[in-house]
Amino acid sequence: MTNPSLVVEPVAGPAELDAFIRYPWEIYRDDPLWVPPLIPMQRDFLNRDKGPFFEFGQAEYFLARRDGRIVGRISAHLNGLYEEHHDKDTGFFGFFECENSQETADALFEAAAAWVRGHGKTRIHGPLSFGIYDEVGLLVDGFDSPPSMMQTHNPPYYEELVKGWGFEKTYDWYAYRISEKPGMDVEKLKRLRDSILTRQKCEIRPIERKEFAKRGPQIKELFNDIWSKNWGHVPLTDKQYEDIFVTLQPLVRPDLETMILDGDDIAAFAVVSPDMNRSVKKFNGKFGLWQKLQLLWDCRVKPLTHCRAIIMGVSRAHQWKRLHHAIILNIIINFLVNHPKMEYCDCSLIPESLEQWNKTLQDFGGERYKVFRLYDRAI
């Protein structure tokens, strides 16, 4: 029986979009690990005229109210690039936040499902906010540590709400953390890295800032090619790439961005960033001039304690040559030599099916500490 006091309606106008953005403060007010999103950036990301997703996608946002009070939110969206590369039957949900009520969750999922069904879809998949390289999945393991940048975070009860509506697991993504272990020998690690590079007649070096204009687009194209066979891959567009990496570039230290060269061609690469969440958490959603200067100082000057490896990859022509070992070894060596206060580097998100990378990260001391799960359901 429908509860007349519970209403789910599309977001209408700037004030309601602001309420949509700010609702998580209600859910996480007692959660010390939660990192509030930067409100100005969220507004741009969700703005249909500015957000990079809207080059190829469309979305609707919904708020759930009980007796006039907001008790949940969700997005429903379609991804044209996904349809080009996978199927035309799937719609998506994301930005899911909800009180601990199956009734409210069901109403939100029904609203999202009805919207994508109205656009001809027969399956709903998520949570994706919005795409496979944005914030992905529901946190189902690893509630004892804060999220790294660009990771989701949610209460444990969300999993029961999602399964309670009939969603079933589709796929898992893993986060590993690599930290200094007793007995790590820097010189031994260097010899191992260098032996791999010598055998393959390659060299490893940082991506200098002056080179970024040249190398950045090469990395995007290489990434899109390398990951094209991985589950759920949708190529990054130029605008998405700029939104993520060009925005990050002024904040990233040069020694954290690495490439392995075969002649002048990039054979492998890693883009590692200071974990901005450690600073962003203090801003409580604000992002004015003072916060931007603080973030710049924390990322570029202050001794690093936490980083995230955002993307790593090895070109198809150089796979099965252990260059992924050399990349990971170089990350560890750099932290041991140049960043002695580093507590750990988060390496994520790694698809569960990517056995080679999962095994290598574990072989070099990586601890799987978070699992993010995607779900789907026929509608």
Are 158 and 202 contained in the same domain?
no
Asked if the model's pLDDT at residue 128 lies above 70, the reply is: yes
Structure tokens at 340: 């002695």
Are 259 and 146 contained in the same domain?
no
Asked if the model's pLDDT at residue 161 lies above 70, the reply is: yes
Residue 376 belongs to some domain of the structure: no
Residue 377 belongs to some domain of the structure: no
- Considering only CA atoms, which of 60, 156, 52 is closest in space to residue 100? 156
Structure tokens at 119: 């656009």
Structure tokens at 320: 């099965």
| Residue at which a domain ends, from 172, 194, 221 | 172
Residue 81 belongs to some domain of the structure: yes
- Which residues, 6+ apart, have CB-to-CB distance to 241 below 8 Å? 216, 217, 220
* CB neighbours of residue 37 within 10 Å: 19
Total-model pTM? 0.94
- Give residue 217's pLDDT band: very low, low, confident or very high (50, 70, 90): confident
Are 133 and 241 contained in the same domain?
no
pLDDT value, residue 29: 96
Are 74 and 152 contained in the same domain?
yes
**CATH number for 59:** 3.40.630.30
pLDDT value, residue 244: 74
Residue 143 belongs to some domain of the structure: yes
35 near 282, Cβ under 8 Å?
A: no
- Give residue 247's pLDDT band: very low, low, confident or very high (50, 70, 90): confident
Long-range contacts formed by 230-233: CB under 8 A, 24+ apart: 230/351, 230/353, 230/354, 231/171, 231/351, 231/353, 232/82, 232/86, 232/132, 232/171, 232/374, 233/85, 233/132
| Structural domain that includes position 48 | 6-172
pLDDT value, residue 155: 98
Beta-strand relationship, 123-126 and 90-98: parallel
Cα(67)–Cα(50) distance, rounded to whole angstroms? Answer: 33
Range with the poorest average pLDDT among 140-144, 168-172, 216-220, 241-245:
241-245
Residue 98 belongs to some domain of the structure: yes
3-state class (DSSP) for residue 158: helix
Are 158 and 243 contained in the same domain?
no
272 near 333, Cβ under 8 Å?
A: no
The residue assigned the tokens 């979305």 is 59
Cα(268)–Cα(205) distance, rounded to whole angstroms? Answer: 11
Percent of the chain at pLDDT exceeding 70:
99
Are 84 and 187 contained in the same domain?
no
Asked if the model's pLDDT at residue 211 lies above 90, the reply is: no
Residue 357 belongs to some domain of the structure: yes
Are 166 and 186 contained in the same domain?
no
3-state class (DSSP) for residue 365: coil
Percent of the chain at pLDDT exceeding 90:
78
276 near 251, Cβ under 8 Å?
A: yes
Are 84 and 211 contained in the same domain?
no
Residue 155 belongs to some domain of the structure: yes
Residue 364 belongs to some domain of the structure: yes
pLDDT value, residue 2: 61
Cα(92)–Cα(83) distance, rounded to whole angstroms? Answer: 12
| Residue at which a domain ends, from 144, 172, 200 | 172
Pairwise pLDDT comparison (213 vs 363), residue with the higher score: 363
Stretch 266-278: mean pLDDT, rounded?
93
Cα(29)–Cα(70) distance, rounded to whole angstroms? Answer: 15
List the beta bridge partners of residue 69: 66
- Give residue 253's pLDDT band: very low, low, confident or very high (50, 70, 90): confident
Q: pLDDT per residue over 95-117, tens digit each?
A: 999 999 999 999 999 999 999 99
Are 106 and 136 contained in the same domain?
yes
The residue assigned the tokens 């260097």 is 190
Furthest C-alpha separation in the chain: 70
323 near 313, Cβ under 8 Å?
A: no
| Residue at which a domain ends, from 123, 146, 172 | 172
Are 208 and 309 contained in the same domain?
yes
Are 16 and 125 contained in the same domain?
yes
Asked if the model's pLDDT at residue 146 lies above 80, the reply is: yes
Are 99 and 194 contained in the same domain?
no
**Per the structure, how many domains does the chain have?**
2
